[in-house]
Amino acid sequence: MCVVRPDNHRQILARGFAAGPAEADAAVRAAAQAAPDWIRLPLDERASVFLRAADLLAGPWRDTLNGATMLGQSKTIHQAEIDSACELADIWRFSVAGARVLVVDDTWATGAHAQSASCGLKAADAAAVGVLAIGRSFTTDYRDNNSGW
C-alpha cells in the first residue's frame, strides 16, 4: 500500500502494509498482557509517560510531526502547528493535569481524532472524558456575496 500526498497522488510518502487478522490478534494479545502492569503503576508514573511524550513532541520532534502533517494532510505550516504539534502536546499535558477532560474537536467527518484522544486520556487515567464535536455544514446554494459572516 502506498501513502501519497492528498494534493499530489503521484508523490509517494511511504509504503506500508495493512495489518491482517493475525497481526491484529497479536496486538490485542500484547496489549492484554501489558495491561495489568500498566494498571498497577501509580497515576504519577503513568502520567509521566504522557508528559515526557508531550515534551518530546513540543521539542525535538515538533518539526518532524509538523512536516509529516503538512505532507500527509496538505496543511500549511500554520495549520500543521495548530492541528498536530500544539494540539497533541496540549492534550497529553492537560489530560494528566485535571483528570477530568473535555476534548473539543472540529472534525465533522469521522470523529477519529476525538476517539483516539479520548482513548489516550482514559488510558492516562482520566476520571471522565467528554467530547464536544463542532460540525459545519454548507448549503448547495451558497454564494460568496462578500458580506462577511
User: What CA dihedral angle connects 80, 82, 88 and 90, to 10 degrees?
Assistant: 160
Q: Quote the pLDDT of residue 133.
A: 60
Q: Which three cell numbers stand for residue 31?
A: 496489549
* Length of the chain counted residue by residue: 149
Q: Quote the pLDDT of residue 3.
A: 85
- Answer yes or no: is 25 within a domain: yes
1-8, long-range: CB within 8 Å, 24+ apart, which pairs? 3/72, 5/71, 5/72, 5/74, 6/72, 6/73, 6/74, 7/74
**Residue 149 — very low, low, confident or very high, per pLDDT cuts 50/70/90?**
very low
- Answer yes or no: is 141 within a domain: no
Instruction: Domain of residue 31: give its range.
Output: 1-40
β-partners of residue 8 are 5
Q: Phi and psi (nearest 5°) for 3?
A: -100, 120
Q: Which three cell numbers stand for residue 78?
A: 500554520
Q: Quote the pLDDT of residue 62.
A: 92
- Answer yes or no: is 27 within a domain: yes
pLDDT tens for 7-16 read: 899 999 888 8
Name the domain count of the chain.
Answer: 1
pLDDT tens for 30-75 read: 999 998 998 888 877 888 888 899 999 899 999 999 998 899 888 8
**Residue 81 — very low, low, confident or very high, per pLDDT cuts 50/70/90?**
confident
Q: Which pTM value belongs to this model?
A: 0.57
- Answer yes or no: is 106 within a domain: no
More confident residue, 138 or 1: 1
